[in-house]
Amino acid sequence: MNRELNFTALGERVKSEREKKHLTQEQLGEICGLSTSYIGHIERGSRKLSLETLYKISSALDVSLDYLVFDSLDSDKNLFNNIDAMLKDKDPAKVKTFMTTVRILAEKIDEY
């Protein structure tokens, strides 16, 4: 398996997770011991980062290394975690409607 690391996609996942945690680039940089500009470069995919830096970022964001690097080897788990995070601060009545819709679609999935 000869795959190249997609630093742009990795950076997008870092940015997405940082924003979910309501952290600024500066705050993430402080936690990881990195400059704000370096965090910006990582998020844009314009810098390659070391395994140590990647580990610091994944720890600070409480996400797995495989999620950041490979867009999640355990995609179902991360999909559900991402949905849960997106729904966290939403109107409970609307979340209930959303979950009912998902449940109905799941029950009918084999019919399509």
Compute the mean pLDDT over every residue in the chain, rounded to the nearest whole number.
85
Q: What are the tokens at 37?
A: 């500009």
Q: Would you tell me how many other CB atoms lie within 10 Å of the CB of residue 25?
A: 19
CA–CA gap between residue 91 and residue 16 (Å, rounded)? 21
- Give the per-residue pLDDT at 74: 43
Across 24-33, 42-51, 75-84, the highest mean pLDDT is recorded for 24-33
pTM of the model: 0.62
Instruction: With beta carbons less than 8 A apart as the criterion, state whether 23 and 1 touch.
Output: no
